[in-house]
Structure 1
Amino acid sequence: MNRTRTTRGFVWVRLAVGVALIGLLCNASAWAADPATTTTTTTHKRHHHVVTTTTTTTPATGPNEEQRLNALSGQVGNLQKQTDDTTSEVKKIEAAMVVAQPAANASPATIGQHVGLNETNIASIQKNLTDNLGISVHALVDAGYEHNFNQPNANVNAFRAWDEDGFQLTQGNLHIERDGTVGFVTDINVGQVANSISSVTHYSNVAFVGGQWIDPTQYYLTYTAPFGSGVSFEAGRFVTLLGAEIIPVYNNQNFNESRGLLFNLGEPLTHTGVRASYTFNDYVSATAGLNNGWDDPAANNNSGPNFEGELALNNKDKSLALVVNGIVGDNAVPGSNGKQVSNANLGAIDPIATWKPSFVPNLTLQAEYLYASQSGPVINGHSASWQGAAGYIVYDFNPALEAATRAEFFDDMDGARTNGEAQTLWEITQTISYKIPEVTGLIARLEYRHDNSSQNSFTNNNFVNPTTGQQHLWHGQDTLAANFIYAF
């Protein structure tokens, strides 16, 4: 029985060794095969046969990939050649575009030579106008929207110079001047400014028919005589010396958008005549002149000329200045038939002080006082007088942002300047001005203003009383305006 067990054990050992040997031979065959070749054996038991499928993976460095690399290298070479050709053409174009003058007595042949010739011609014209002739041309445009909370009939803002309710072209100004020993200045205005100036001055039409939408506000000759530091003469039509506020031009604008009561009611706007100015030193200058009077036509209807003068004093750095203006002379006044037949002596004095305190940088304080009187049958058969004062507080938060506050009163003691009714007016105005970045000369303005009177003088949209035919008037008015100003 032990022999039998031994024999059986030996058989099992032999069988195990045989199986191991067969597996070893199979693995050796697999190791000897190409590692890129994979053999898959699938046995379909139903049909009792074996199907062997062989899948071959092409190595990365096979012949097909080399062909693709060679083709790609050829394409890159062609692209490089095209790039070199394009670069060469660009260099030729750049050479042709170089801005240069053509050779002497030769016509321009390249784009750059044409451009260079045109630039030279333009520069020559500018030189003739500016350097040789001394002529410069500038302009100003002021447009915006204003809302009167009274909503007055006919959109009229009472006692205001040239702003009204609604959208408007406030001012268009064309300024032409020539510097030098002999020169000239011309200012042509359009828009509401022109309409208001012409309705007051009567210059735009000899046979006066009302406001005009274009006004030659200034046109005068200049001459500098070689005496001392130079005496400057002007002859023609020019704006008045009086007033802290002015009719704006491209390089000289007011702190506020609307004009004040003193500007509109108390002072003249323009004169026709001659004047001379002289600067004695850094501290003192003076101006004196003769003209036809307050806003009078070029034809003198007065019995004699008006005398005007200005004395200006300031410290070395001009942080403190005092200007005293004055005018006096005969002026025609309306007679009973509506024509200017009577003459009355009219005079005004107008000191203006400006202070820029060093201990508050960017702050400007300004004050103006006006007193004027006119003899003769000005109002209700007797003489008249009026006075007023204005104060300005101006602060520049930075070079682009400015806030300006104006407060003023105007006392028309006889009603000569405010439609025949004696009254005292006052107003306060707050203006914010902002210089638009990267646009030289463009300013945006927002302004709120309140006007008030001791009398019911301000129109509104109330219905007219059907019994009396009169409209109910109010003591005050409030306005809000937004404007853009572009000067160049």
Structure 2
Amino acid sequence: MNKTPYGNSHQFSAERGHRGSLAVRTRSFSEFSDNIPKKPWTFICSYSSWVVSYLIKPLKSGQFLKISLKVILIQQLFVAAEASSLANASGLFELFPEHNPNQWSLFEQMELNWGGWLNAGVTYNTNQPNDRFNGTLGFSDRSDELQLNQFYHFLERHASGEPERWSIGGRLDFIFGSDAYYTRSMGDPGKHWDAHLVNQGIYGIAFPQAYLEIFAPVGRGLRVKVGEFYTLIGYESVMAPENFFYSHSYAMQFGEPFSHTGILASYAINDSLGLKVGAVTGSPYAGWDGTFVHKLENWGLIGSINWAFLETGTSVDFSGSHGYLSDTPSQDVNLFSTVVKQKIDDRWQLTVQHDYGWHGKSHENPGAEWYGFLTYLTYDLSKETILGLRLEWFRDDDGIRVGTPARHPTVPSQAANYYAVSLGANWKPWPWLNLRPSIRYDHSDGWQAFDNGAKSSQYIISSDVIVNF
């Protein structure tokens, strides 16, 4: 995953596409709004049809016809679904059980589960950057451009966890989209095995998780993962459905690992206290974002302690990592993260995170540090709608963590404080559908980190959709 300490070695160009002409006439928004269907699921399908017809205007007539036929087919499938099914289904597979792979006899016999989601969004940047990159923002990093961020699939088998019984499970994750570049395990930039399966530019593929899980009937039950797995550090996640906002924090993008390769053991001491400890490798950077094909001699440690107080609605998670740079073995890399969650009442929830990371000093390098605070405050406005506020201060004390553009830094970074304020909402008319509009303001006080090094701040307006399978 693309969190190398000194930027990214990938280089590519992204030019504005030329819009051609199209003989097929597309509908204006006024025409569309005058004919809004009364049924909400039909409305969403019709709206999607209008958006698609607008976005594909530069296509040739034959291409337009093919896409239009696919959109019409999807519309008819949704119209065929009963309203009660839409409200009760957790994903699209449940809406159409005759096409649900989890009901195949092979899957049921092997206790396999196939799931995933589609995540797509669009961002407007008031700076209107010439390179169309949103400065320090990763993931939702393109301006004035519809992004298919994650077409995500996973196949898993849960280790049962039944007392007195050994069990084996595992999981394999696959992603296609513009986020694949960030979600790929990349301890050495560009050298991970899935970086070269296809010719990858803005869009690509990745396999961010691939592990076996063993449950051993020891005490309350010991779980052990072996392979590539997402990090246990921090609050935000690579996986879109686990995040409130479309964009990500500086702490997640620049201050923490995305994943690890190695061994991770988990044990619940009681209902309130859990421990995790692991040995990780495959990376020149202290076991961060490693893989299983190189740098296997460079090992690091990760771990966490989690307390959950059900009576007060409080949870506290301490996590961290320790390891060394493979190129300068005498220089250690350390990170500690604390995440506190507090359920204030039935509607309000507060989350506060603090990270502190540093490189130790060596003969070759003077050392460096980064740290910050991240705060989430959410309010359940209704069963379907949640409002959210995110505040962040991130300090890159030596100018080695944050780069711009985030996808492939080209502007020399400097020491700076980064401030970000995000305000948004999650609207879930059904359990399998989530719409996430938001507005965000970023500011850097140390250098001009936005608009390709031309400005010190930016406003971002964005919206995305998540459809669970």
Distance in structure 2 (CA, Å) of the matches to 1:375 and 1:396: 43
The alpha-carbon deviation at position 243 of structure 1 amounts to: 0.8
Counterpart of 1:457? Answer: 448
What does 1:468-483 correspond to in 2, within 5 Å? 473-483=454-464
Relative to structure 1, the CA distance from residue 145 to residue 487 in structure 2 (aligned partners, 3 Å threshold; closer, same or farther) is same
Equivalent of 2:324 in 322, 326, 330:
330
Matched, 1:291 2:277: no
Equivalent of 1:254 in 243, 248, 251:
243
Post-superposition CA distance 1:102-141 (Å, at most 9, x none): xxxxxxxxxxxxxxxxx99999982644543110011111
Letter in 2 for 1:187: D
The alpha-carbon deviation at position 224 of structure 1 amounts to: 0.1
Relative to structure 1, the CA distance from residue 296 to residue 121 in structure 2 (aligned partners, 3 Å threshold; closer, same or farther) is closer
The secondary structure found in structure 2 opposite 1:195 is helix
Relative to structure 1, the CA distance from residue 125 to residue 432 in structure 2 (aligned partners, 3 Å threshold; closer, same or farther) is closer
Distance in structure 2 (CA, Å) of the matches to 1:403 and 1:201: 36
Counterpart of 1:178? Answer: 157
Counterpart of 2:354? Answer: 369
Matched, 1:405 2:399: no
Counterpart of 2:175? Answer: 189
The secondary structure found in structure 2 opposite 1:264 is helix
Relative to structure 1, the CA distance from residue 409 to residue 200 in structure 2 (aligned partners, 3 Å threshold; closer, same or farther) is farther
The alpha-carbon deviation at position 205 of structure 1 amounts to: 4.1
What TM-score does the superposition give when structure 1 sets the normalisation length? 0.66
The secondary structure found in structure 2 opposite 1:364 is strand
Kept in 1, the 8 Å contact 2:122–2:463? The answer is yes
Letter in 1 for 2:459: D
**Count of aligned pairs:** 346
Distance in structure 2 (CA, Å) of the matches to 1:122 and 1:297: 35
Distance in structure 1 (CA, Å) of the matches to 2:375 and 2:98: 51
Rg larger in structure: 1
The alpha-carbon deviation at position 176 of structure 1 amounts to: 1.1
Relative to structure 1, the CA distance from residue 227 to residue 397 in structure 2 (aligned partners, 3 Å threshold; closer, same or farther) is same
Worse-superposed segment, 279-288 or 158-167: 158-167
Relative to structure 1, the CA distance from residue 149 to residue 301 in structure 2 (aligned partners, 3 Å threshold; closer, same or farther) is same
Kept in 2, the 8 Å contact 1:325–1:351? The answer is yes
Letter in 2 for 1:410: F
Kept in 2, the 8 Å contact 1:303–1:343? The answer is no
Kept in 2, the 8 Å contact 1:190–1:215? The answer is yes
Equivalent of 2:436 in 445, 450, 453:
445
Counterpart of 1:35? Answer: none
Post-superposition CA distance 1:425-478 (Å, at most 9, x none): 010101111112xx4411111110011001332343xxxxxxxxxx76111011
Letter in 2 for 1:375: G
Distance in structure 2 (CA, Å) of the matches to 1:377 and 1:157: 35
The alpha-carbon deviation at position 145 of structure 1 amounts to: 1.2
Higher helix share: 1
Post-superposition CA distance 1:80-111 (Å, at most 9, x none): xxxxxxxxxxxxxxxxxxxxxxxxxxxxxxxx
Distance in structure 2 (CA, Å) of the matches to 1:261 and 1:146: 18
Distance in structure 1 (CA, Å) of the matches to 2:342 and 2:443: 28
Structure 1 moving runs of 4+ over 6 Å: 119-125, 207-212
Kept in 1, the 8 Å contact 2:315–2:342? The answer is yes
Kept in 2, the 8 Å contact 1:159–1:265? The answer is no
Distance in structure 2 (CA, Å) of the matches to 1:125 and 1:483: 27
Matched, 1:216 2:207: yes
Kept in 1, the 8 Å contact 2:438–2:462? The answer is yes
Letter in 1 for 2:251: L
Letter in 2 for 1:430: L
Higher strand share: 1
Unaligned 5+ segments in structure 2 are 1-95, 160-166, 282-286, 404-412
Post-superposition CA distance 1:267-313 (Å, at most 9, x none): 01111000110111111011000001012342453754111101000
Kept in 2, the 8 Å contact 1:458–1:477? The answer is no
Distance in structure 2 (CA, Å) of the matches to 1:169 and 1:123: 23
Counterpart of 1:384? Answer: 368
Post-superposition CA distance 1:366-403 (Å, at most 9, x none): 0000000112569x932111101100001111110011
Distance in structure 2 (CA, Å) of the matches to 1:399 and 1:196: 33
What does 1:140-159 correspond to in 2, within 5 Å? 140-159=117-136
Post-superposition CA distance 1:336-375 (Å, at most 9, x none): xxxx566631110001000002xx3221100000000112
Worse-superposed segment, 345-354 or 212-221: 212-221
Relative to structure 1, the CA distance from residue 176 to residue 204 in structure 2 (aligned partners, 3 Å threshold; closer, same or farther) is farther
Worse-superposed segment, 211-220 or 298-307: 298-307
Counterpart of 1:21? Answer: none
